[in-house]
């Protein structure tokens, strides 16, 4: 999708309040507050591929919840490894992006 894409953000409260793209805010809030996942970063994709980056300790839980890992060409550290330990990984959101082209 090309052109200007409009999107809204929504404030949600995890351990502290953060701004998240509105169309995936409920999903991010549930992952953090119900499933006890520590999300590091997220984006609905604004008409392109969205992502949810989680701490390495939550990779197994994300997989068990049915999330698929993705490689992000535009983020250098979508999977970061320290020694033999993965410290974060990117997953595809289940929520559909509701951003509309203007």
Averaged pLDDT, 8-36: 84
Other CB atoms within a 10 A radius of the CB of residue 41 amount to: 15
pLDDT tier for residue 56 given thresholds of 50, 70 and 90: confident
Integer angstrom CA distances of residue 34 from 6, 29, 30, 70, 91 = 29, 8, 5, 23, 18
Q: Kindly report the pTM of this predicted structure.
A: 0.74
**E-state strands within the chain:** 5-6, 9-13, 17-21, 39-43, 51-55, 80-82, 85-91, 100-101
**Looking at the predicted structure, is the pLDDT value of residue 88 above 90?**
no
Pairwise CA distance, residues 21 & 75, whole Å: 18
**Looking at the predicted structure, is the pLDDT value of residue 2 above 80?**
no
**Looking at the predicted structure, is the pLDDT value of residue 102 above 50?**
no
Q: Is 66 left (phi over 0), alpha (psi -120 to 50) or beta?
A: left
The pLDDT score that the predictor gives to residue 1 is 45
């Amino acid at each position: 999708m090309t052109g200007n894409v409009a999107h809204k953000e929504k404030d949600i409260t995890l351990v502290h309040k953060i701004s998240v793209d509105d169309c995936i805010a409920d999903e991010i809030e549930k992952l953090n507050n119900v499933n006890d996942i520590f999300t590091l970063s997220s984006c609905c994709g604004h008409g392109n591929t969205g992502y949810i980056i989680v701490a390495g300790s939550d990779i197994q839980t994300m997989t068990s919840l049915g999330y698929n890992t993705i490689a992000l060409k535009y983020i250098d550290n979508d999977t970061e490894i320290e020694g033999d330990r993965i410290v974060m990984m990117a997953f595809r959101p289940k929520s559909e992006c509701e951003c509309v082209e203007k």
